[in-house]
């Protein structure tokens, strides 16, 4: 779980991020970011009733929080971010949620892009 200082609270900031932020979409979730003028990031998590019942929603929220927590050292600082779950996430494993968050964070500019893999079999001898 993220420390309290790193969690977004208050519907006003959530609405401001949704309204003015930059969004990246994936079939499992949507990441919306907005600069926050702080030296650290803050994250908020939205899991609507469309995703499932309370047990499913809480599980999905924990999966998203853990994906963020594990990638925390790699993230650029100074942003507020909202992760919004889509209904397909309720059938996803943690590995899929983690991969989706990594792809969204790279696309949004929160993480450095991966270096392209070098072709090792196409060299002429």
DSSP letters along 39-60, please? SS-EEEEE--TTT-SHHHHHHH
Predicted confidence pLDDT, tens digits, the chain (125 residues): 778 888 998 889 999 999 999 999 999 999 999 999 889 999 999 999 999 999 999 999 999 999 999 999 999 999 999 999 999 999 999 999 999 999 999 999 898 776 555 445 554 44
Strands 22-25 and 79-85, sheet pairing = unpaired
Strands 29-35 and 79-85, sheet pairing = antiparallel
Q: What is the pLDDT of residues 97-113, one digit of tens each?
A: 999 999 999 999 898 77
Tell me the HSE value of 114 on the side-chain side, using a 13 A CA sphere: 9
Q: At 41, list the tokens.
A: 């990031």
């Amino acid at each position: 779980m993220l420390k309290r200082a790193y969690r977004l609270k208050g519907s006003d900031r959530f609405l401001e991020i949704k309204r003015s932020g930059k969004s990246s979409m994936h079939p499992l979730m949507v990441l919306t970011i907005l600069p926050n003028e702080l030296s650290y990031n803050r994250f908020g998590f939205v899991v609507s009733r469309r995703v499932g019942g309370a047990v499913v929603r809480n599980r999905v929220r924990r999966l998203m929080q853990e994906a963020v927590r594990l990638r925390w050292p790699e993230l650029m600082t100074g942003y507020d971010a909202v992760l919004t779950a889509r209904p397909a996430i309720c059938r996803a494993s943690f590995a899929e949620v983690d991969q989706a968050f990594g792809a969204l964070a790279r696309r949004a500019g929160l993480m450095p892009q991966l270096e392209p893999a070098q072709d090792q079999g196409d060299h002429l001898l």
